[in-house]
């Protein structure tokens, strides 16, 4: 083991891993209504960053609610636990130097603050995907608004459960008058400095 670089003699830190990956381990926390564009932009941003040599992980309802959080529903208590676990998981990713893009409705200021407290404010970039309810409802990507309006889904954010907009998000994306590509480049340009060493 003598020929190993001295850096490996001690426990590796976040900075060691950031140096190795040549990037900052940080969380981009996307919040916004269902259908606002969080997942579409998160996936596009992941590909764009990856093509430029950044190492990124996207966390969303699809890859967390089907696995680690599959025992949770949409009550306030379960939404809080959902976000708490996601925040703890992202913390592990960023401690490994990975850029974590989290795409969650995370509807209240309090719930997002809890995530920020777990992750650490210096590692947390809040991205508000600000799309008016009417636009989200007209898109109705998954047909969920129609079901919520028909009373088939209870407690749907924006319909019969509140969404509190961030008071001062680090980044705000107004997707209603942008193409998907424009939104992806918009967020890229606004965050890229903070992802780089």
- Binding region for ligand ADP (CB under 6 A): 32, 34-41, 103, 139, 141, 175, 178-180, 183
CA angle 76, 81, 87 (to 5 degrees): 125
Task: Please tell me which residue in 39, 103, 106, 183 is annotated as part of the active site.
Answer: 106
DSSP for residue 179: -
Query: Rounded to the nearest whole angstrom, what is the least distance from the CB of residue 56 to ligand ADP in the complex?
Result: 17
d(Cα 77, Cα 168) in Å, to the nearest integer?
25
Which single residue brings its beta carbon nearest to ligand ADP? 37
Active site residue 51: no
CB of 113 to ligand ADP, least distance (A): 20
Minimum distance from CB of 170 to ligand ADP (Å)? Answer: 18
Kindly state the DSSP code that residue 177 receives in the 8-state scheme. Answer: G
Looking at the Cβ atoms of 66 and 179, the one nearer to ligand ADP is 179
Torsion angle (degrees, nearest 10) of CA 177, 32, 88, 126: 60
Question: Would you please indicate which residues are annotated as catalytic (active-site) residues?
Answer: 106
């Amino acid at each position: 083991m003598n020929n190993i670089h001295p850096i490996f003699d001690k426990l590796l830190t976040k900075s060691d891993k950031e140096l190795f990956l040549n990037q900052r381990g940080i969380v981009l926390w996307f919040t916004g209504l269902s259908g606002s564009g969080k997942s579409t932009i998160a996936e596009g941003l992941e590909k764009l960053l990856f093509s430029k040599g950044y190492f990124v992980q996207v966390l969303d309802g699809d890859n967390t609610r089907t696995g680690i959080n599959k025992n949770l529903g949409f009550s306030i208590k379960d939404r809080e636990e959902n976000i708490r676990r996601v925040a703890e998981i992202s913390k592990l990713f960023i401690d490994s130097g990975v850029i974590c893009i989290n795409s969650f409705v995370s509807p209240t200021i309090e719930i997002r603050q809890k995530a920020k407290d777990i992750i650490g404010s210096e590692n947390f970039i809040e991205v508000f995907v600000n799309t008016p309810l009417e636009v989200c409802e007209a898109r109705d990507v998954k047909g969920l608004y129609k079901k919520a309006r028909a009373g088939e889904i209870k407690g749907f954010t924006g319909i019969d459960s509140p969404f509190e907009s961030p008071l001062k998000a680090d980044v705000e994306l107004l997707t209603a008058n942008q193409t998907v590509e424009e939104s992806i480049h918009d967020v890229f340009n606004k965050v890229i400095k903070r992802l780089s060493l």
